[in-house]
């Protein structure tokens, strides 16, 4: 057996651990492993390396991916030079499939989020033997309880909330921390709870400007002259839309969210005589070494993916449910986003300890 592996979409801690898990498990069975460079771009442009045991030795502790990645190299709408160009997308999926056949690759492991796995699903429908592995710091794939990369991003965000407390309290400021997460508020919610955030704003609970101001004023009335606000990049008001920083053509999800924290700061400073400072974590959440949990989870995902290949169970994604690995169809994996339920135990917990979600309708 000769298998291929690629890492697509945004980078995150744990990718190398999955590459290692797949490679070591496959080599132990006597298989060959080919790593495609820069995600689906390497598959389309036929750029790859042969992975041996020495290539993956020691990479479990490293963030990023030794294979490189891309979030714009969609084989079904390819816009990258020299094979295509921006504004003139080409369907080069047949070329990608042909490259796999020429290399004699019997199965492909695609590691990524919803965009990468949607492409994997389409390739499977064209006859490619594909197994998916769920990667996203957003934790927004509904077919798995958790995705690798999320725990590492959560650690970074929580540490940031912790560190903002001292400067906020010293200067009597409102400190606003903006996290990633796209359309799901998991990072903001859990880091806000873990770090003791006073106000948490997430996409699933649209905020009211007057309720954010009221929450800050309520703390000030109690003698608390500082507030910590944790804002998911996808947060929006009841009347507004998400804040888009830019549009990246050719990407499976072209909208790049960001900047809502500055909007919140403007709202507060416009109503209260208090200084607001904004910290946008951005790609800091994607960097650094993976947490022990993500290393453990990624290794398990990689080994389980090889097991699916051995059983010829293709068109499936490795999933983590009830604290063990299993699998689901790629169709089920990308059908719906996993988002925070406003009536969930986590939200109720935050409300119970006095956290505001910027909307007075949500209270205990």
Taking only the tens place, the pLDDT of each residue in 220-277 is 999 999 999 999 999 999 988 877 766 766 666 667 677 899 999 999 999 998 889 9
Report the candidate in 148, 186, 114 with the shortest Cα–Cα distance to residue 319. Answer: 148
Read off the pLDDT band of 71 (50, 70, 90). Answer: confident
Instruction: State yes or no: pLDDT of 20 exceeds 90.
Output: yes
Domains of the chain, each with CATH number or no CATH: 2-148+290-333 (3.40.50.450), 153-285+341-352 (3.40.50.460)
Q: How far apart are CA 296 and CA 257, in angstroms?
A: 30
- Model pLDDT, residue 249: 67
3-state secondary structure of 324: strand
Q: How far is 27 from 19, CA to CA, in rounded Å?
A: 12
Give the separation between CA 364 and CA 362, rounded to whole angstroms.
7
Mean per-residue pLDDT, 23-41 = 97
324-329 and 316-321 as β-strands: parallel, antiparallel, unpaired? antiparallel
Q: Which residue has the tokens 């490619």?
A: 128
Question: What band does 283 get if pLDDT is binned at 50, 70 and 90?
Answer: confident
What digits encode the pLDDT tens for the residues 316-342? 999 999 999 999 999 999 888 899 999
DSSP single-letter state for residue 267: H
pLDDT at 254: 65
User: What is the tens place of the pLDDT at every residue in 73-102?
Assistant: 999 999 999 998 877 899 999 999 999 999
Main-chain dihedrals φ then ψ at residue 109, nearest 5 degrees = -100, 115
Task: Determine whether 114 is an active site residue.
Answer: no
**Predicted pLDDT at 242:** 76
Mean pLDDT over residues 145-170, rounded?
94
pLDDT of residue 282: 87
pTM score above 0.75: yes
Confidence of residue 169 (pLDDT cuts 50, 70, 90): confident
Instruction: Identify the CA nearest to 19 among candidates 29, 8, 10, 30.
Output: 8
Poorest-pLDDT segment among 28-42, 230-244, 306-320? 230-244
Cα-flanking dihedrals φ and ψ of residue 91, to 5°? -85, 100
List residues bridging with 327 in a β-sheet: 318
Helix (H) or strand (E) holding 22: helix 15-28
Which H/E stretch holds residue 279? strand 276-280
Query: 123 pLDDT exceeds 90?
Result: yes
- Burial grade of 364 (CB within 10 A; 0-12, 13-18, 19 or more): exposed
The set of residues, in sequence order, having a beta carbon less than 8 Å from that of 171 and lying 6+ positions away, is 226, 275
Q: What is the mean pLDDT of residues 179-186?
A: 93
- In the chain, the percentage of residues whose pLDDT exceeds 70 is 97
Q: Which of 114, 138, 151, 294 is catalytic?
A: 138
Q: Which positions ≥6 away from 133 have C-beta within 8 Å? A: 18, 109, 110, 111, 112, 301, 302, 305, 317, 318
Torsion over CA: 81, 16, 108, 123 (sign):
negative
Measured between alpha carbons, how far is 256 from 249 in angstroms, rounded to an integer? 11
Query: Burial, 68: exposed, middle or buried (Cβ in 10 Å; 0-12, 13-18, 19+)?
Result: middle
């Amino acid at each position: 057996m000769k298998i291929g592996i690629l890492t697509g979409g945004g980078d995150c801690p744990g990718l190398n651990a999955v590459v290692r898990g797949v490679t070591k498990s496959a080599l132990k069975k006597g298989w060959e492993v080919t790593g495609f460079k820069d995600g689906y771009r390497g598959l389309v442009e036929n750029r790859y390396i042969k992975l041996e045991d020495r290539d993956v030795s020691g990479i479990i502790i490293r963030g990023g991916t030794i294979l490189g990645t891309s979030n714009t190299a969609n084989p079904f709408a390819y816009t990258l030079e020299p094979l295509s160009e921006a504004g003139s997308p080409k369907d080069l999926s047949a070329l990608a499939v042909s490259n796999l056949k020429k290399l004699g690759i019997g199965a492909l492991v695609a590691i990524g989020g919803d965009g990468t796995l949607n492409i994997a699903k389409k390739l499977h429908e064209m006859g490619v033997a594909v197994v998916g592995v769920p990667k996203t710091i957003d934790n927004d794939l509904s077919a798995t309880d958790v995705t690798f990369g999320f725990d590492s991003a959560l650690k970074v965000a929580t540490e940031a909330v912790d560190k903002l407390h001292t400067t906020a309290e010293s200067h009597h400021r409102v400190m606003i921390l903006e996290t990633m997460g796209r359309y799901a508020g998991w990072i903001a919610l859990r880091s806000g709870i873990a770090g003791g955030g006073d106000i948490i704003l997430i996409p699933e609970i649209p905020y009211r400007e007057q309720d954010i101001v009221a929450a800050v004023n309520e703390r000030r009335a109690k003698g608390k002259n500082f507030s910590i606000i944790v804002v998911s990049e996808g947060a929006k008001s009841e009347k507004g839309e998400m804040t888009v920083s830019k549009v990246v053509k050719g990407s499976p999800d072209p909208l790049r969210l960001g900047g809502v924290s500055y909007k919140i700061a403007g709202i507060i400073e416009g109503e209260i005589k208090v200084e607001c400072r904004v910290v946008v974590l951005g790609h800091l959440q994607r960097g650094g070494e993976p947490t022990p949990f993500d290393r453990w989870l990624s290794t398990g995902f990689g080994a389980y993916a090889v097991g699916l290949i051995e059983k010829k169970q293709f068109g499936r994604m490795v999933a983590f449910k009830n604290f063990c690995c299993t699998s689901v169809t790629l169709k089920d994996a990308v059908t719906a986003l996993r988002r925070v339920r406003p009536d969930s135990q986590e939200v109720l917990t935050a409300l119970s300890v006095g956290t505001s979600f910027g909307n007075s309708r949500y209270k205990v």
